[in-house]
Amino acid sequence: MREIEKYIYGLAADFKNVYVDVKKGLTDFCYLNDEKVRYSKDIAFTLGHEPKEFITSILTQSENGELILVEKDGLLFFRFSPKNEHGNRIFRYVKQRKLRQCSYMYKKMKRTRDLKNESKCGVEGNERIYKNEGVIYEICLTNTPRDTDTFCTTDKHHPRLKWIVWEQNITLSDEDHWREHMEWDAFGQELKDMGNRIEQLDRQLIKMEVMSNGNETSKGN
């Protein structure tokens, strides 16, 4: 009997979605220029932006399943086909609505003041609008996205998927920002481990110092 094909579908990014960044009394409204979006050499699919929760990627197409990305009208859609028990477990999470939304990560390459939209929107004196250019290197399943208009589903008849043809149409570059991200994550973990070891050594030194002082007191008596 032929196994029924199962897929996770979703909207990972709306590049025109505006997010707010507040720093030092200034409020920046930022969005990604969909006309200048580029894609990394490899694009990973994870849970919650965690490298340790890697599912698959465009290049590796790991044993967990296969990933397809489709860009249409400033939106980035994906389809994931689970191939093993881990992939099927993630499929069940989405089907049971334990995972409901998506997010993405990109490396910012350029930031430009959008004076035209600032004038059009009538921003306040401490407000600015920025148009970013960047390289996408990861998408993920999450329940805490910055853009709450994203979604994931196992329903191929979802109305927002109606006009999507599931043939990958993005162009990958030579810039491997996913690998760069993993290296930085590993380096951060090494620093954290080193800090923990230093704290452990400090505690041991304090303990030895206390014991030494106790021994000196005993000799004096």
- Per-residue pLDDT of 122-137, as tens digits, reads 888 899 999 999 999 9
Q: What is the pLDDT of residue 153?
A: 97
Alpha helices in 28-130 (DSSP H): 85-95, 115-121
Give the pLDDT band (50/70/90) at residue 2.
low
* Rounded Cα distance, 10 and 155, in Å: 10
Domain definitions of the chain by residue range: 8-175, 176-221
Q: Which helix (H) or strand (E) holds 61?
A: none
Mean pLDDT, residues 17-36: 90
Backbone angles phi, psi at 28, to 5 degrees: -105, 130
Q: Write out pLDDT tens, residues 92-130.
A: 999 999 999 999 999 999 999 999 999 998 888 899 999
User: Model's pTM, two decimal places?
Assistant: 0.79
How is 142-159 classified by DSSP, letter by letter? ESS-S-TT-EEES-TT-G
Give the pLDDT band (50/70/90) at residue 5.
confident
Q: Write out pLDDT tens, residues 50-70.
A: 888 889 999 888 788 999 999
Q: What is the pLDDT of residue 1?
A: 44
Tokens of 205: 């030194």
Q: Tokens 């860009």 — which residue?
A: 71
Does 203 have pLDDT greater than 90?
no
List CB contacts of 31: < 8 A, sequence separation 6 or more.
15, 16, 17, 18, 19, 130, 131, 132
Backbone angles phi, psi at 41, to 5 degrees: -60, -35
Identify whether the C-beta of residue 111 lies closer than 8 Å to the C-beta of residue 36: no
List CB contacts of 201: < 8 A, sequence separation 6 or more.
none
Count of beta carbons in the 10 Å neighbourhood of residue 139: 28
Count of beta carbons in the 10 Å neighbourhood of residue 33: 17
